[in-house]
Amino acid sequence: MPRPRQRTPELRDRLVQAALATLTRNGVSGFTTRRVAESAETSPPAVYEFFGDKSGLVREVFFEGFRLLGARLQEAPETADPRTDLVAVLRLFRLFACENPELTMLMFSRPFADFDPGPAERQAGAVVRELIVAKVQRCVEAGVLAGQPTDLAHVTLAVVQGLALQETAGWLGTSGESVDRRWGIAVNAVLDGLAVP
């Protein structure tokens, strides 16, 4: 009788979910292949068999982060007001970043010394970029914003990433009201500054 397969797609998925949970629970400094394996109820060799090494596992978590963020941003409804729709997507980005600070750090900075995103990893964010560029494009076509949509999307996303980093670090204010106010000031200032004169 043949031995049952130990390394199944289900185990691989379980390891990715365990890695996400380990990153959330233990942060970058506590993220180890041993902890991930224990959380997935398997052994470190299983991690290495699927992902090669720790950086391969981090790479998969990176990709999963962009899949989750892309799905989250697609929850924004489309209305007749393109600026409102753009702000709604930026708000969803904020919520994702606040709910997943360690994952967001992995996606948009370089917290792991042995993981350096290359072209394939940069392409992982394409869905997110394209979605935001499309929202900005609608604003340009409606005469709400002026400029090249990709340029405007990059500027807007950079500001939102910075705000999210400040908020998750606790540097944007001591109350929810002050943090919300500062987000509103910043987002409106950027969009007003990019508006048609």
Residue with tokens 């370089």: 110
Report if residue 8 sits inside a domain: yes
Q: Does one domain contain both 1 and 72? A: no
> Averaged in consecutive runs of 10 residues, what is the pLDDT profile of the chain (197 residues)?
61 96 95 96 94 93 94 95 98 96 90 79 84 97 97 95 94 95 97 92
Domain extent, residue 171, equals 62-193
Residues 27 and 97 in one domain: no
Q: What is the pLDDT of residues 130-166, one digit of tens each?
A: 999 999 999 999 999 999 999 999 999 999 999 999 9
Q: Residue 48: give its domain's CATH number.
A: 1.10.10.60
Q: Mark 46-63 as b/e (b = at least 16 C-beta within 10 Å).
A: bbeebbeebeebbbbbbb
Q: How many domains does the chain have?
A: 2
Is 57 contained in some domain? no
Q: What is the CATH number of the domain that holds 78?
A: 1.10.357.10
Same domain membership, residue 97 and residue 45: no
Shared domain check, 36 and 120: no
Do 96 and 171 fall into the same domain? yes
pTM of the model: 0.89
Residues 36, 119 share a domain: no
122 and 87, same structural domain? yes
